[in-house]
Amino acid sequence: MTFFTIVVRGLIRRPVRTALTLVGISIGIAAVVALVGIASGYEKSIDKQLDVIGVDIVVSNMSGGFLPKVFDESLQARIAKLPGVAETTSVLMEMESIEDAPMMMVSGREWGGFTWGKLNLMTGRMPRDGAEHAVILGRMAAEVLNKKVGDTVQIEAEELPVVGIVDGRSVVENGAIMLSLKVLQDVTGNEGKANFVDVRVTPNSTREDVRRLCERIKGIFPEGRALVAGEVVSNSQGFRIARAMSWSTSLLAIIVGVLGVMNTMLMTVFERTHEIGILLAVGWTRRRIVYMVLCESALLGLLGGLVGVALGALGVQILEHTTGIRGLLEPNLSPKLLLTSVTIAVVVGVISGMYPAWRGSRLTPSFALNG
């Protein structure tokens, strides 16, 4: 018989209680996996979008929260004149509730700008010109809205025909409704306004050149921000909030897990007072008792962590295929996240076992035997 046998025997003696505790921890860990996975997946897909459309610097006024405040379109012309700028394009991005879909990204892009060129037409056609009141849908947006070429989409008060469906190669683009900037300004009453200027720097620019350019942009647009594509995601206030929320919700779930395991381990120690007395009487050290209780709770944490990671991954899969959400999520369940979650579960187990272990080891053998 090994020490591990003793630890396992401690857990299987009360199978129902052990199972319920496992469910408790695993729900907590599943929440961590799902929330953090979805948040980081979203960040990653934004990052990918920027890559795909070839943006190097994004200029915006981030004081608006999730979506930046609008500014005058003329900013673009001023940025275009700066040294080291190859191309610029203004974008007006809105989040709108479209028919049954609660939040859809509507992206008005300056006609002829470089971001149009990266879209792959799947069916239909592109708008004829920047003045045509028509939209194209990203592949997943079409699926979510259940629209084909020839249908119409209502934005604010206007019904706009769908003329094409495109594959934009990133979740954000595929989930968006795209149209000419001018048309979106018309429809939403934002004449002459935009909330992003996407900038491409001249080829062969160094990091230092890009940094200097950002400084200059800030010089002409002090209330705004110029972010190098890779930094856009990590700096956006919206994402910071999303990340903070997913981790703080996770923290709550973890605290609930800790209380659950601690309760179970305390019950285990209390109901086993007599047995701990026997162990002490036959010569077990207090250290070994502590170690036994901690190993039990760590094992409980490990099992809960494994089950939780599986549950979380499964839950995310289900969410991904649920109508209404389908296509909007591209969760990022990285091995690092899974490993971190299991580690958190084990640490939760050990921490929760500390007090019960200490209680158990402090018993006087004769008292524990008789009492």
Partner 1 sequence: MNTMANLVFEGVGLKKEFDDGQVHALRGVDFRIAKGEFVAVIGPSGCGKSTLLQMLGALDRPSGGTLYYCGNSIPDLPNPSAYRAREIGFIFQAFHLLPTFTAVENVQIPMFETDLPASKRRDRAISLLKSVGMDHRLDHFPAKLSGGERQRVAIARSLANGPSVLLADEPTGNLDSENARLILELVVRLHREQNMTLVLVTHDMAIARLASRTITMKDGRVVSDNASAPDAHREKEQAIK
Residue placing its CB nearer to partner 1 in the complex, 3 or 270? 3
**Which H/E stretch holds residue 206?**
none
Q: How far is CA 113 from the centre of its chain?
A: 30
d(CA 133, CA 89): 20
Minimum distance between the CB of residue 274 and partner 1, rounded to whole angstroms? 8
CB of 49 to partner 1, least distance (A): 58
Kind of pairing between the strands at 85-98 and 196-201: antiparallel
Amino acid at 206: T
- Sign of CA pseudo-dihedral 169, 170, 171, 172: negative
Residue number, 157 or 282, with CB nearest to partner 1: 282
Helical H runs in 74-224?
75-80, 139-145, 171-174, 181-188, 207-220
Residue 145: name the closest of 106, 108, 109 by CA.
106
Distance CA 201, CA 291 (A): 60
Question: H/E element holding 160?
Answer: strand 158-167
- Side chain identity, residue 228: V
Q: What is the DSSP letter of 46?
A: H
- What is the maximum span of the chain, computed from C-alpha positions, in angstroms? 91
Q: From the CB of 7, what's the least distance to partner 1, in Å?
A: 12
Query: Where on the chain is the footprint of partner 1 (CB under 8 A)?
Result: 1-3, 5-6, 9-10, 13, 274-275, 277-286, 288, 364-367, 369
Q: Which is nearer to partner 1, 10 or 113 (CB)?
A: 10
Beta carbons within 10 angstroms of residue 20's beta carbon: 12
Neighbour count for residue 5 (Cβ, 10 Å): 9
Which residue number, 74 or 366, has a Cβ lying nearer to partner 1? 366
Q: How far is the CB of 304 from partner 1 (least distance, A)?
A: 22
Q: How far is the CB of 346 from partner 1 (least distance, A)?
A: 23
Q: Minimal distance in Å, beta carbon 15 to partner 1?
A: 12
Q: Which is nearer to partner 1, 70 or 289 (CB)?
A: 289
Q: Which is nearer to partner 1, 14 or 216 (CB)?
A: 14
Q: How far is the CB of 23 from partner 1 (least distance, A)?
A: 23
Please give the radius of gyration of the chain, using alpha carbons only, rounded to the nearest integer: 28
Q: Which is nearer to partner 1, 53 or 280 (CB)?
A: 280
